[in-house]
Amino acid sequence: MAHGRVRIIGMGAVSAIGAGLDATLESLRAGRSGIGDMRHCVSHLGVPVGEVDLTDMEMARELGMEAGAHGRTTLLATMAAREAIENAGLDTASLGKTALISATTTGGMRETPLFYAPFADDNGRGRLRHAWRHPTSNHTDEMAEALGIGGWRTTISTACSSGANAIMTGAMMIETGMAETVIAGGADSLCAFTLGGFNSLKILSGDACHPLSEGRDGLNLGEGAAYIVMTADDSRKATGWLSGWSNANDAHHQTAMSDEGRGCQKAMREAMKRAKVTPAEIGYINLHGTATPNNDATEMAAIESVWGGEMPLFGSTKGLTGHTLAAAGALEAVFCLLGLREGVAWASAGLTTPMAGHTSALRENKATESEYALSNSLGFGGNCTVLILRKA
């Protein structure tokens, strides 16, 4: 492996703050939030969300895919992966042997009710294509077919760390020689099922969320997709590097971390050990930062345990996009790569009065010459994943 570790040569993203890297960067620079009222998702819950400002029809048309033939998760994934492929300059021949690792939590859950509702009234009704989109692997297969990705592929679903775990798995495939080039990331669409599930846990906010703030009362769900292209081909120009990674399980509770954030602590330490960097070399941390009382308190406890009094720049970008579930780890890895490239540490969007003892959270974007950024992705069940990105 080269000095930077695993070479990243392309990336793509779509979320509530923009479809594509240019629009995403513009919103990050402006601190422009995409959280607002639901327009495309159907739910009885009148809560704000981070919704992609495109209909399924518009995405299908943009992608040259048959309208109505694919679920929203597939469309979001294909948009972001197509940009990553173009950004990396992969040709048709190389795509035929490129591996694909995609992550999701919702899969085709958004479309399943389109089958179930009429079928429940009359078991001779209902379109089965809405039901066969339900499995998480469906979007991976459909995007591979649409984009001509012919190598080994799999789907990962480990709650909110899924996208980061997809990237970590791709990196290990590169390092062990199992694949020369890997496209890895995640996608999730908003759907009534997940909105209802998070609402039942009493962790949805009725307003735009306020990560790392006193009085924070919950998260906003979002949707989106992001993918990066990694390769072992050292002749390719690097967009950035994946220098370290780790996954650890807090094993504390189904939906909450331990007060000390033990899994997060362990994952951060192991990722830095793998990257051969010290805490002092990490210039920016993109927190998981969901704005729930438990997550933000325990994540900050974990960070303080590792860094002590010498804290790097840190913030949460979920006040811009909402919590995009399986896409979050991949999307925020892209944000870190853009920040390293542009020399900017992104502010903690939505921050009001900082949490007691944590007043150093970024209130606005800050210029930085950081070489390394660390991104936390902390999933239900204690599945904690950390990625360390390095400037090209």
In order, the DSSP letters of 200-236 are HTT-B-SSS--TTBTT---B-BB-EEEEEEEES-TTS
Structure tokens at 34: 């995409």
pTM for this predicted structure: 0.95
Interior angle at CA 325, CA 136 and CA 98, nearest 5: 55
Q: How far apart are CA 57 and CA 71, in angstroms?
A: 11
Quote the pLDDT of residue 360.
86
- A 10 A CB-CB count for 383 gives 22
**Which residues are catalytically annotated?**
160, 288, 323
pLDDT at 111: 76
Give the pLDDT of residue 255. 66
Residue 2 is predicted with a pLDDT of: 46
- 49-50 and 99-103: which strand pairing? unpaired
Q: What pLDDT sits at residue 122?
A: 75
* Cross-strand bridge partners of residue 244: 388
pLDDT in the model for residue 1 = 45
**pLDDT tens, N- to C-terminus, the chain (392 residues):** 446 799 999 999 999 999 999 999 999 999 999 999 999 998 889 899 999 999 999 999 999 999 888 999 999 999 999 999 999 999 999 999 999 999 999 988 877 777 777 777 778 776 767 676 778 889 999 999 999 999 999 999 998 999 999 999 999 999 999 999 999 999 999 999 999 999 999 999 999 999 999 999 999 999 999 999 999 999 999 999 999 999 998 777 766 777 777 889 999 999 999 999 999 999 999 999 999 999 999 999 999 999 987 899 999 999 999 999 999 999 999 999 999 999 999 999 999 999 988 888 999 999 999 999 999 999 877 789 999 999 99
Cβ 214 vs Cβ 297: under 8 Å: no
The answer to whether 189 touches 24, Cβ cutoff 8 Å, is: no
Gap between the Cα atoms of 137 and 102, Å rounded: 8
In this structure, what are the phi and psi dihedrals at residue 320, rounded to the nearest 5 degrees?
-95, -45
